[in-house]
């Protein structure tokens, strides 16, 4: 990288609140300290916008701020100032310790801990301008912990397969029996909701004690060998969306939420709250049809708010 940007600031000495706000903003955006009062970021549009916003706030509170382009005296000099290896190592250590300690008794606490770690990982990723192997290792470890939690929470979780997704006509899938594993969790609940709302409104849903109980004439989903299951990086909900080419405002954002809650990744803002609500429903409702009815109201509400672009931060 040849061009970088600096923010040269002078903070008002009499306004401690403004000074603290500026320092926090500069730290949270990942800026490196080039010199006292001189902060550095890569020359990228989002970084320019960040420095402009921080600079304006400093000026509005009586300080001064000047944004300039700079060129490093030698190649690779500035990049070393943004090395996040130690930060990733700290997160990786916490993830590994949580994974080693995981058991059915501490599952709820480990889920909460993983969500905190995933949020920290996402925040770190936003300021990791030059991702390296440490980032990939930490993301992979978080995904492995997510899979281990999911296996404890929902045994017989399907393994992803590699296959092409044929395009299917909704008209060919009306009034059918659809079957999945009993005591459904996020992907199965969301998939069943999607089937009833967009694919087969008269669908007869069967909750299986084991995948082997699936009738020959039923369309299975979200278990190994099912007609609709995990394919590549897609969870069953995403496979159904793609197979039937279902498009509606808000569905893409809902799919990202289902994907994260099922297999991990980058946490949407609303993930923690929705997970807690669905977990509460699952723990308090023993009948799977009633559980789906309650969860469907959650998905209906989420879709409506997502379609309007409502944030759930």
In angstroms, the CA 106 to CA 112 distance is: 10
Mean pLDDT of 86-102: 96
Q: What is the pLDDT of residue 154?
A: 73
Which residues are registered as beta bridge partners of 177? 204
Query: What is the band of 266 on the pLDDT scale with cuts at 50, 70, 90?
Result: confident
Q: Which tens digits make up the pLDDT trace of 110-123?
A: 988 998 999 899 89
Rg (the chain; Cα; Å): 24
Q: Tens digit of pLDDT for each residue in 164-182?
A: 998 999 999 999 999 999 9
pLDDT of amino acid 311:
53
Q: What is the mean pLDDT of residues 143-162?
A: 83
Instruction: Please state the pTM of the whole predicted model.
Output: 0.66
Angle at 246 between CA 244 and CA 247, to 5 degrees: 160
pLDDT of residue 1: 59
Residue 296: pLDDT band (50, 70, 90) is very high
- At residue 310, does pLDDT exceed 80? no
Domains detected in the chain: 4-81 (3.30.70.240), 83-153 (1.20.58), 170-307 (no CATH)
To the nearest whole number, what is the mean pLDDT of the chain?
Answer: 92
pLDDT digits (tens, 9 = 90+) for 121-149: 989 999 999 999 999 999 999 988 988 88
Rounded Cα distance between 216 and 219, Å, is 8
Confidence of residue 159 (pLDDT cuts 50, 70, 90): confident
Angstrom distance (rounded) from CA 303 to CA 6: 42
Query: If you average pLDDT over residues 194-212, what whole number do you get?
Result: 96
Residue closest to 259 by CA, chosen among 277, 281, 241: 241
In the chain, alpha helices (H): 16-28, 45-60, 85-101, 107-126, 133-153, 186-194, 236-243, 251-263, 271-284, 288-307
């Amino acid at each position: 990288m040849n061009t970088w940007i600096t923010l040269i600031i002078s903070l008002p000495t009499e306004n401690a609140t403004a000074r603290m706000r500026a320092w926090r903003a500069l730290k949270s955006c990942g800026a490196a300290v080039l010199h006292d009062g001189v902060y550095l970021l890569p020359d990228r549009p989002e970084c320019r916008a960040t420095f402009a916003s921080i600079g304006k706030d400093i000026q509005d509170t009586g300080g001064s701020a000047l944004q300039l382009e700079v060129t490093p005296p030698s190649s690779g000099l500035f990049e070393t100032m943004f090395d996040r290896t130690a930060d990733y190592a700290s997160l990786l250590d916490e993830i590994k310790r949580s994974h080693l300690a995981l058991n059915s008794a501490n599952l709820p606490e480990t889920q909460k801990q993983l969500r905190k770690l995933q949020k920290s990982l996402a925040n770190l990723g936003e300021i990791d301008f030059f991702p390296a192997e440490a980032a990939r290792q930490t993301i992979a470890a978080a995904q492995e912990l997510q899979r281990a939690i999911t296996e404890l929470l929902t045994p017989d979780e399907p393994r992803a397969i590699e296959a092409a997704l044929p395009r299917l006509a909704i008209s060919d899938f009306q009034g059918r029996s659809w079957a999945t594993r009993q005591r459904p969790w996020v992907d199965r609940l969301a998939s069943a909701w999607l089937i009833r709302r967009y694919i087969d409104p008269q669908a007869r849903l069967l909750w299986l004690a084991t995948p082997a109980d699936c009738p020959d004439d039923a369309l299975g989903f979200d278990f190994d060998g099912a007609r609709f299951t995990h394919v590549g990086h897609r969870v069953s909900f995403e496979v159904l969306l793609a197979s039937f080419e279902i498009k509606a405002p808000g569905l893409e954002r809902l799919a990202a939420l289902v994907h994260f809650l099922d297999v991990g990744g980058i946490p949407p803002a609303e993930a923690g709250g929705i997970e807690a609500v669905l977990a509460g429903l699952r723990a308090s409702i023993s009948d799977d049809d009633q559980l789906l009815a309650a969860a469907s109201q959650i998905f209906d509400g989420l879709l409506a708010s997502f379609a309007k672009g409502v944030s759930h931060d």
